[in-house]
């Protein structure tokens, strides 16, 4: 009985990650009943983003130009290349102010169950990027999840085969963390990877 353009909107909203049928319904009612301007704005933002955004030729992140501002900046240390999964990871590393090199954003992680393999992650583009001889070291900063670790492992092998120096973010007890409240796996890693002082 409910009108099909409403069903179609609810269906389209269900395509968003983490949105089930109830949330999609609530969102649709909210947009149509309480926030039509928000709905117009969202439709416009989607159309605009689809039309305007592309991937940086160098670091693969979202950008509106051929090469993103960061990659084009002469202030960054071009000898370091940090590989992350998503732009959100890049943003967190930037917030540390502890890194001034460049990035490469995979836009995902190896995830065979979701059909995301080396081809989907465009490892070719990463390898082409690294072929640039200014890159002295690649720092793998994928997540420490199973999928992130697997991704780091494969990328490390590909890069090592090309004679490129590769490192990985260290694993260990978080800063401010207490051993008592740290999982044993992390503590075991911190023991194995203990650093000489």
Kind and range of the H or E run holding 103: strand 101-105
Is residue 191 a contact residue for a copy of itself (CB under 8 A)? no
- The span from the CA of 123 to the CA of 161, in Å, is 14
| Residue 187 CB burial class (10 angstroms; 0-12, 13-18, ≥19) | middle
Is residue 30 a contact residue for a copy of itself (CB under 8 A)? yes
Going by C-alpha positions, the residue among 146, 54, 70, 75 that lies closest to residue 109 is: 146
Q: Which two tokens stand for residue 10?
A: 């609810």
Query: Which 142-181 residues touch a copy of itself, going by CB under 8 A?
Result: 180
Is residue 101 a contact residue for a copy of itself (CB under 8 A)? no
Position among 88, 98, 161, 175 found at the interface with a copy of itself (CB under 8 A): 88
Instruction: Collapse the DSSP code of 140 into the 3-class scheme (helix H, G, I; strand E, B; otherwise coil) and give the result.
Output: strand
Is residue 117 a contact residue for a copy of itself (CB under 8 A)? no
Smallest gap from Cβ 28 to a copy of itself, in A, equals: 7
Is residue 59 a contact residue for a copy of itself (CB under 8 A)? no
User: Do residues 153 and 182 lie in contact, with contact meaning Cβ atoms separated by under 8 Å?
Assistant: no
- The span from the CA of 46 to the CA of 125, in Å, is 26
Is residue 132 a contact residue for a copy of itself (CB under 8 A)? no
Is residue 92 a contact residue for a copy of itself (CB under 8 A)? no
Smallest gap from Cβ 161 to a copy of itself, in A, equals: 27
Find residue 167's DSSP bridge partners.
139
Considering only 24-32, 129-137, 168-176, 184-192, which stretch makes contact with a copy of itself by CB under 8 A? 24-32
- Which residues are within 8 A (CB) of 2 and not within 5 positions of it... i.e. 6 or more apart? none
Considering only 26-34, 136-144, 150-158, 168-176, which stretch makes contact with a copy of itself by CB under 8 A? 26-34
Smallest gap from Cβ 147 to a copy of itself, in A, equals: 15
Find residue 140's DSSP bridge partners.
83, 168
Which residues are near a copy of itself by CB under 8 A?
1-6, 8-9, 11-13, 15-18, 22-23, 25-36, 38-50, 52-53, 62-64, 68-70, 86-88, 91, 94, 107-108, 180
């Amino acid at each position: 009985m409910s009108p099909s353009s409403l069903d179609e909107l609810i269906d389209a909203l269900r395509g968003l990650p983490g949105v089930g049928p109830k949330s999609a319904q609530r969102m649709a009612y909210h947009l149509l009943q309480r926030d039509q301007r928000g709905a117009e704005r969202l439709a416009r933002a989607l159309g605009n983003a689809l039309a305007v955004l592309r991937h940086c030729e160098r670091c693969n992140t979202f950008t509106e130009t051929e090469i993103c501002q960061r990659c084009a900046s002469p202030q960054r240390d071009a000898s370091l290349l940090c590989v992350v999964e998503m732009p959100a990871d890049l943003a967190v590393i930037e917030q540390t102010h502890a890194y001034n090199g460049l990035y490469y954003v995979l836009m995902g992680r190896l995830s065979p169950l979701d059909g995301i393999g080396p081809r989907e992650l465009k490892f070719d583009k990463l390898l082409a990027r690294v072929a640039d001889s200014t890159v002295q070291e690649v720092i793998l900063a994928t997540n420490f999840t199973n999928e992130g670790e697997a991704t780091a492992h494969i990328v490390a092998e590909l890069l090592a085969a090309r004679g490129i120096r590769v490192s990985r973010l260290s694993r260990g007890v978080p800063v401010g963390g207490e051993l008592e409240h740290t999982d044993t796996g992390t503590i075991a890693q911190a023991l194995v990877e203990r650093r000489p002082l």
